[in-house]
Amino acid sequence: EIVLTQSPDFQSVTPKEKVTITCRASQSIGSNLHWYQQKPDQSPKLLIKYASQSFSGVPSRFSGSGSGTDFTLTINSLEAEDAATYYCHQSTSLPETFGQGTKVEIK
Amino acid sequence: EVQLVESGGGLVQPGGSLRLSCAASGFTVSNNYMSWVRQAPGKGLEWVSVIYSGGSTYYADAVKGRFTTSRDNSKNTLFLQMNSLRPEDTAVYYCASRSTLDCWGQGTLVTVSS
């Protein structure tokens, strides 16, 4: 099973600040890494697919990078509405797995 | 517009069964890779199962032998049959589409408790 480890687990950030979340895979997964945002009491929403491709309708301040084992989700100029938990997910091999989540709080 | 709507959750005793449904609109379930993902209260996301367009199914070890994923092409609906339920199966269950999980349902809560 491929283990995805996100860091940090929690981040408290001021609006307009830049946020960087990393996701490290226990073995190479190519670019089959996707990022989701989940707000309280809502379903997760896809932000970035295949490591760096923005999903339709997602604000341009969200971007992704990486390949192999190391991936990054960047939120440029954080807005209050970005308070949420963010998850990475790999679809390279079964069982598919998720990172443990990174909670982003607005100061 | 692509939409997924789950139903069938509820309270069930340990050892009991439930069948969850995921009705799709805006795309064809049988032509797509469809997944079930669950989230225990206050916890992260956990992959449960997938059914490929060709009909092959795969399961997480935690549910293998107890859960079965299927679909009804005529109803454009995905199902998750859950047997021998355990308290640790308590979670919100989501269905999601394609390998990128680009569309999620609203989730349905399954509570396993006596």
Any CB–CB contact under 8 A between B50 and chain A? yes
Local confidence pLDDT in tens for the 114 residues of chain B: 899 999 999 999 999 999 999 999 998 999 999 999 999 999 999 999 999 999 999 999 999 999 999 999 999 999 999 999 999 999 999 999 998 999 999 999 999 999
**Encoded tokens for B104:** 């999620």
Any CB–CB contact under 8 A between B57 and chain A? no
Neighbours of A16 (CB within 10 A): 9
- The closest of B46, B42, B51 to B61, measured between CA atoms, is B46
Partner residue opposite A87 with nearest CB, options B44, B61, B105: B44
The verdict on a CB contact (< 8 Å) between B58 and A95 is yes
Taking residues A73-100, what's their average pLDDT? 97
Any CB–CB contact under 8 A between B79 and chain A? no
Taking residues A35-61, what's their average pLDDT? 97
Confidence label for A72 from pLDDT (cuts 50, 70 and 90) = very high
